[in-house]
Chain A
Amino acid sequence: MLLEHDLSVSPAARAAQIWRHREQIEREAAAQFHQLARELASAGNSELAKRATRAALDEQRHARRCRALVESLVGPDVAPADAPRRLTLGPATLSSRDRMLYAAVALGCVTESLSCALLLELKEAAVHPLVQATVAEIVTDEIEHARIGWAVLAAEAALRDVAWLTQYLPVIAAAAIADDVQPMAGEVELAGLGVLPRERVQALVAETWATVISPGLARVGIRSGGG
């Protein structure tokens, strides 16, 4: 049984393990935004490339904030987060420009949009002062990060048909939920420490998909179903 789900462990220790996982997620997001910035620059979109580069730096700062929070909860002896996995978004069969769009949608429109909704809810539930400050800082940046994805999608949709992304949405959604959402959920008693209850996370993901992501994708002809 993982430590964060072992109810014999203190709430602070369980919350710390979940924030430690978020530290890893933030480092992976930094690498993905760096890659997206390179792809945007190659595609000639220098303005969005700059925003993606700033997002990568934000994510690195978030990882440091998560680390500080872990140490605040349980002390400095917790092992560092696992090394970021090397994640290349999109099938290798896609062209470089299509992979750039795939990455922007997966990272910005789906993962970061879900993160915005969850963090906004979490901000209201948090009671631990450092959790409150950390969540407030991260959510402000995540809104911009999500908007990078939506801006890339809008820009590409103005130039060409992007409906081909429909076939990849189930995979994109499943990966976002499995890698970035579910690991951040926990028991009800952890809400004040920055961990939303699983049932609430599940409901909020469904609401966000139906209210934000699916309608947003539908505007450019991408059908996303029920999420």
Chain B
Amino acid sequence: MKLQRLFHVLVVMSAASGCTGDDGAADAAALATTDAAPTTADAAPAVSDAAAAPADGAHADGAPCLCNTDSCCDRTMEPAQIVAGFECCWSTTCP
């Protein structure tokens, strides 16, 4: 699962327009803590449970997938969902 996420972060996001490369720290942190961290649910209590699904692993396939403060949006599949407290989501669904 972590390597699938690495594919998304490296390949998919790099190919998406508008990526500036400024969010490597957030990506690395997300990747490095995927297996244990509750991720976005803790970071953004204002977001509904459904929308604040963890970035990886703990949600149903196709569930909304929000990432905390990443500045780089993957809009290759769906329009980004802009939510208060978030700069963007990088994918509206997770594999």
Contact = CB atoms under 8 A, between A and B. Distances in A.
A120 B2 contact: yes
Given A120-B32, A139-B32, A211-B4, A216 B10 contact: yes
B10 A147 contact: yes
Interface residues of A, number: 27
B24 interface: yes
A219 interface: yes
B24 A141 contact: yes
Interface in A115-139: 116-117, 120, 123-124, 136, 139
A151 B32 contact: no
Main secondary structure on chain B at its contact with chain A?
helix
Contacts of A207: 3
Contact of A136 (B3, B11, B20, B32): B32
Nearest to A112: B10
A143 B3 contact: no
Nearest to B23: A144
A212 B7 CA distance: 5
B6 A212 contact: yes
A151 B29 CA distance: 21
| B10, B13, B20, B28: residue with the most chain A Cβ atoms closer than 10 Å | B10
A148 B31 CA distance: 18
B81 interface: no
Nearest to B19: A151
Nearest to B25: A140
Interface in A123-180: 123-124, 136, 139-141, 143-144, 146-148, 150-151, 154
Given A117-B6, A147-B14, 6 more contacts: A116-B6, A116-B10, A136-B28, A144-B21, A147-B21, A212-B3
23 contacts: A113-B6, A113-B10, A116-B10, A116-B31, A120-B6, A120-B32, A140-B28, A141-B24, A143-B10, A143-B24, A144-B24, A146-B10, A147-B10, A147-B14, A147-B19, A147-B24, A151-B21, A154-B15, A207-B3, A211-B3, A212-B3, A212-B7, A219-B11
Interface of B: 2-4, 6-7, 9-11, 13-15, 19-21, 24-25, 27-29, 31-32
